[in-house]
């Protein structure tokens, strides 16, 4: 303290303070741009999540859409979007469009442009996941451009461009309302208008009687995407911080909320479905991030934990609501994550905002007139009454109404001119090959065949030809009887991959020295033990299995069967099955031996 007092009394101290203040401003200006780069990196996260949660035949299409979100968004944001968002305010509704980026580049606000551009691209990409696997690429490009050029800039101007909501003290620091709820509403209406994927819902007498699970093809990529998004969210929420305490507090709330949301979701799905749901927990992490985005700067750790806890339950409810009640197909959970939790996070500001948060004082201003990122008071649970909550509700309703009308008109026009949905044949084949001429996004890899339920009823054809003639059965030629009349038997064993080594060793111990081993896919659903994907029972799925074929003559078949049963048995469904066939003959190619003799050195 003595040293500080000495410095303050020293000549030129004001100049030193001014220098440090200037350096601090420059430091946070650099952080502002680093934050923008982190938000841009979130495009990769969205691409990975959407790709992993959908089927392999559409991976290239989804990657292309996420790329074009940003590229098309950049073009239209330069032309009109940036002006509508941050141009001179016109009666509190829109910014004045302009071309300063071209006409006055030397004085242009480059940092602000880049920062708001990456946020704009995020809004458009949310829609991609909900409409994935059945939307025309051309139509997608058109509505992505409209979102980036008109819908997002106009409604975001109300909050961040000095518009009428900002003047009331409405608070959405990083975009729960302006970005996530808006993107989620567009996703909801788009998914409803484009219709569900083939096979998602089963209809009977015009009513949906069953919901089918369509698992994503690569949960690993999906998980990588979530981690990329979580990392990017520190820039998403923290880039606009102007002091170290503000930034540290924002980092804390941005960590607590998604962590709590994920734990709550894990516990809930574990209790409800018997196992913790991986994909739902990944969605819950994103839901917690979305929920805390609006108030990340003005809530404390307890508020962030409460926001996250609600988000963890709300995302499960949202997925269930769309699947089982509204019958809207959202492959990646975009509506549950972004729309519902964007709404919740915006309202939560009116409940949990507290003056103990470092950024609150800056946000409160003079408490009379407000600007962008300022706030009308504390939240309800912190003694602020209903004022702020009422303003937050008004902001949500106004933004939602504008977005719903604008995107509905957009989709109706696109549907009329271009059409929204690909044909049935294109959807079955996959959008990679149909829309982009890409045989596969995974050249060299083979994926399991897709069992696509058909909406067409089986037609019984009747005719005059007898069944015996219509479906001809021809006996196959046979070899001579094996020498000595010894019976030959093939034992086919289907088992789990993990039991192969134990089975092989056991067979060798009883004298079996030759066997054929194949990797196969088997239908793994069993009655009495349902598995769930995002809360929907998986009734039939192809799982990797091992098929072991053994032909025996000297070793008793009963010994082979009993040994296999003993080795494979664990008491759980899916231990395996054993099939026994008669074999007419065996021929050893090298020696020409047949029957019993052909097996003696390999059995």
What lies within 8 Å, CB to CB, of 232 at 6+ separation is 38, 39, 41, 42, 45
**58 burial via Cβ count (<10 Å: 0-12, 13-18, 19+):** buried
How many whole angstroms separate alpha carbon 255 and alpha carbon 280? 18
| All domains in the chain, ordered by first residue | 24-436 (1.10.3430.10), 483-599 (3.30.70.120)
Where is pLDDT greater, at 511 or 321?
321
Q: By the 8 A CB rule, do 297 and 345 touch?
A: no
Q: How confident is the model at residue 5 (pLDDT cuts 50, 70, 90)?
A: low
Q: By the 8 A CB rule, do 346 and 297 touch?
A: no
CA-based nearest residue to 178, from 31, 349, 62, 63: 349
For 82-94, give the secondary structure using H, E and C.
HHHHHCCEECCCE
CA-based nearest residue to 38, from 238, 315, 190: 238
pLDDT at 460: 43
pLDDT at 598: 73
Task: Assess whether pLDDT exceeds 70 at residue 527.
Answer: no
Q: By the 8 A CB rule, do 89 and 162 touch?
A: yes
Phi/psi-derived region of residue 296, left when phi > 0, alpha when psi is between -120 and 50, beta in every other case: alpha
> Model confidence over 61-117: pLDDT tens digits?
999 999 999 999 999 999 999 999 999 999 999 999 988 999 999 999 999 999 999
**Could you tell me the two tokens for 353?**
């905002």
Task: Specify the 3-state DSSP secondary structure of 526.
Answer: strand
Q: By the 8 A CB rule, do 217 and 349 touch?
A: no
Q: How confident is the model at residue 374 (pLDDT cuts 50, 70, 90)?
A: confident
> Model confidence over 210-253: pLDDT tens digits?
999 999 999 999 999 999 999 999 999 999 998 999 999 999 99
Lowest average pLDDT, out of 365-369, 386-390, 500-504, goes to: 365-369
CA-based nearest residue to 348, from 399, 297, 398: 297
Q: By the 8 A CB rule, do 359 and 134 touch?
A: no
> Model confidence over 187-209: pLDDT tens digits?
999 999 999 999 999 988 889 98
Where is pLDDT greater, at 491 or 462?
491
- Residue 172 per-residue DSSP state: -
- Transcribe 415-456 into DSSP letters: HHHT-SB--HHHHHH-HHHHHH--S-SSTT---PPP----SS
pLDDT at 571: 73
pLDDT at 485: 62
If you average pLDDT over residues 358-369, what whole number do you get? 74
- The percent of residues in the chain predicted with pLDDT above 70, rounded, is 85
Sign of the torsion angle spanned by Cα atoms 320, 322, 327, 332: negative
| Overall pTM > 0.85 | no
Give the Å distances, CA to CA, from 222 to 211, 219, 274.
Answer: 23, 5, 22
Q: How confident is the model at residue 440 (pLDDT cuts 50, 70, 90)?
A: confident
> Model confidence over 246-285: pLDDT tens digits?
999 999 999 999 999 999 999 999 999 999 999 999 999 9
Task: Assess whether pLDDT exceeds 80 at residue 486.
Answer: no
Task: Assess whether pLDDT exceeds 70 at residue 14.
Answer: no
Q: How confident is the model at residue 595 (pLDDT cuts 50, 70, 90)?
A: confident
């Amino acid at each position: 303290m003595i040293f500080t007092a000495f410095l303050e009394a020293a000549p030129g101290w004001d100049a030193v303070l001014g220098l440090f203040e200037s350096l601090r401003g420059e430091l946070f200006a650099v952080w502002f741009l680093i934050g923008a780069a982190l938000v841009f990196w979130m495009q990769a996260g969205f691409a990975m999540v959407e790709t992993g949660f959908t089927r392999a035949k559409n991976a290239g299409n989804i990657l292309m859409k996420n790329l074009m979100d940003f590229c098309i968004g950049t073009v239209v944001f330069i032309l009109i979007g940036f002006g509508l968002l941050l141009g001179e305010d016109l009666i509190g509704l829109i910014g004045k469009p302009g071309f300063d980026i071209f006409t006055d580049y030397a004085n242009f606000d480059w940092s602000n442009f880049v920062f708001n551009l990456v946020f704009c691209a995020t809004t458009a990409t949310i829609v991609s996941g909900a409409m994935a696997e059945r939307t025309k690429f051309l139509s997608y490009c058109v509505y992505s451009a409209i979102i980036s050029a008109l819908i997002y800039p106009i409604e975001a101007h109300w909050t961040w461009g000095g518009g009428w909501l900002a003047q009331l003290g409405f608070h959405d620091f990083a975009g729960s309302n302006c970005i996530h709820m808006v993107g989620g509403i567009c996703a909801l209406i788009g998914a409803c208008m484009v219709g569900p994927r083939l096979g998602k819902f089963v209809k009977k007498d015009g009513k949906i009687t069953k919901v089918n699970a369509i698992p994503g093809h690569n949960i690993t990529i999906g998980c990588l995407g979530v981690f990329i998004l979580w990392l990017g969210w520190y820039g998403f929420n923290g880039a606009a911080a102007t002091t170290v305490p503000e930034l540290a507090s924002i980092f804390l709330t941005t960590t607590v909320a998604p962590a709590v949301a994920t734990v709550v979701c894990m516990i809930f799905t574990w209790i409800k479905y018997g196992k913790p749901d991986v994909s739902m927990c990944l969605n819950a992490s994103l839901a917690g991030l979305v929920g805390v985005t609006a108030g990340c700067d003005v809530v404390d750790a307890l508020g962030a934990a409460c926001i996250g806890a609600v988000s963890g339950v709300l995302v499960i409810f949202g997925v269930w609501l769309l699947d089982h009640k509204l019958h809207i197909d959202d492959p990646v959970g975009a509506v549950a994550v972004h729309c519902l939790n964007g709404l919740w996070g915006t309202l939560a500001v009116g409940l949990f905002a507290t003056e103990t948060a470092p950024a609150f004082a800056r946000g409160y201003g003079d408490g009379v007139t407000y600007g962008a990122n300022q706030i009308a008071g504390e939240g309800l649970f912190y003694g602020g009454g209903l004022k702020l909550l009422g303003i937050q509700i008004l902001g949500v309703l106004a933004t939602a109404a504008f977005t719903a009308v604008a995107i509905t008109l957009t989709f109706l026009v696109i549907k009329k001119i271009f059409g929204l949905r690909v044909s049935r044949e294109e959807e079955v084949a996959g959008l990679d090959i149909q829309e982009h001429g890409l045989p596969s996004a995974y050249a060299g890899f083979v994926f399991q065949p897709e069992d696509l339920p058909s909406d067409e009823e089986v037609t019984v054809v009747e005719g005059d030809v007898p069944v015996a003639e219509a479906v001809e059965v021809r006996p196959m030629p046979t070899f001579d009887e094996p020498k000595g009349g010894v019976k030959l038997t093939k034992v086919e064993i289907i088992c789990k991959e993990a039991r192969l080594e134990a089975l092989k060793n056991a067979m060798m111990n009883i004298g079996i020295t030759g066997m054929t081993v194949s990797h196969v896919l088997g239908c793994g659903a069993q009655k009495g033990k349902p598995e769930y994907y995002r809360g929907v029972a998986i009734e039939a799925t192809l799982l990797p299995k091992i098929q072991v074929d053994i032909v025996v003559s000297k070793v008793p078949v009963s010994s082979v069967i009993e040994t296999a049963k003993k080795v494979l048995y664990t008491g759980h469904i899916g231990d395996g099955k054993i099939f026994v066939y008669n074999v007419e003959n065996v021929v050893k190619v090298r020696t020409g031996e047949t029957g019993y003799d052909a097996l003696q050195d390999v059995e």
